[in-house]
């Protein structure tokens, strides 16, 4: 699995749910009409009067209005939640982007450090005893003759196919034995 799902899990674990728990009780219940039927059976077989029809229509209109208001309230709440979810999603995307940039910068710094670790032994100088043209002893600065100190960082950088690395991707050579041979000849040829 990739590291981003682990980042998501840790980010979700760090969220504070108390603010959501506090907000829940404050919401008013959505009003709905009564469950009682609007139909009232009549005892007589005579047609309904105008007043009875108007009363039944007003009763139904009231229930329809109550349901309409309830739908509007639920729609408002749903839109509020959708907006909050989009905001959280945007924050998560920004967090992932920032973490990816940080990880990429860290990888670049690590690669630069590896390269410097390889170059440092090549630049290291040591002093050797010698004599000048009059036979007097003098100290001379020369390149380091410790070939092992020069080769170890190269082997580390070149990757698993060449005896180092361990990240599976390799470094300079990436497992290319031709590059390794050229570097070894170059390093060992200096004497």
- The count of structural domains within the chain is 2
Predicted TM-score (pTM) of this structure: 0.44
Q: What are the counts of helices (DSSP H) followed by strands (DSSP E) for the chain?
A: 5, 2
The model's pLDDT over 111-148, given as tens digits with 9 standing for 90+, comes to: 888 888 777 777 777 788 888 888 888 888 887 777 76
Which of 123, 153, 177 is the last residue in one of the domains? 123
The model's pLDDT over 62-111, given as tens digits with 9 standing for 90+, comes to: 999 999 999 999 999 999 999 999 999 999 999 999 999 999 999 999 88
Output the six-digit token pair for 160. 């698993």
Q: What is the extent of the structural domain holding 150?
A: 124-189
Token pair 């739908």: residue: 71
| 165 and 105 within one domain | no
Q: How far apart are CA 153 and CA 131, in angstroms?
A: 33
Coil, strand, or helix at residue 129? strand
| Residue 45 in domain | no
Q: Would you say 171 and 165 are in contact if contact means Cβ atoms under 8 Å apart?
A: yes
Which of 123, 151, 175 is the last residue in one of the domains? 123
Output the six-digit token pair for 97. 């982007």
């Amino acid at each position: 699995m990739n590291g981003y799902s682990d980042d998501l899990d840790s980010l979700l674990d760090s969220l504070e749910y108390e603010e959501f728990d506090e907000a829940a009780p404050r919401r008013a219940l959505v009003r709905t009409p009564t469950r009682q039927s609007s139909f009232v059976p009549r005892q007589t077989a005579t047609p309904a009067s105008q007043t009875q029809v108007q009363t039944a229509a007003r009763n139904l209109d009231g229930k329809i209005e109550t349901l309409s208001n309830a739908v509007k309230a639920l729609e408002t709440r749903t839109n509020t939640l959708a907006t909050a979810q989009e905001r959280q999603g945007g924050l998560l995307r920004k967090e992932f982007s920032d973490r990816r940039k940080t990880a990429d910068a860290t990888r670049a710094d690590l690669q630069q450090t590896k390269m410097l670790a390889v170059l440092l032994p090549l630049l290291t100088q040591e002093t050797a005893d010698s004599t000048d043209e009059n036979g007097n002893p003098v100290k001379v600065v020369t390149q380091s003759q410790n070939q092992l100190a020069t080769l170890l960082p190269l082997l580390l950088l070149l990757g698993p196919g060449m005896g180092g690395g361990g990240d599976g991707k390799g470094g300079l050579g990436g497992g290319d034995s031709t590059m390794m041979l050229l570097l070894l000849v170059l390093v060992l040829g200096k004497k």
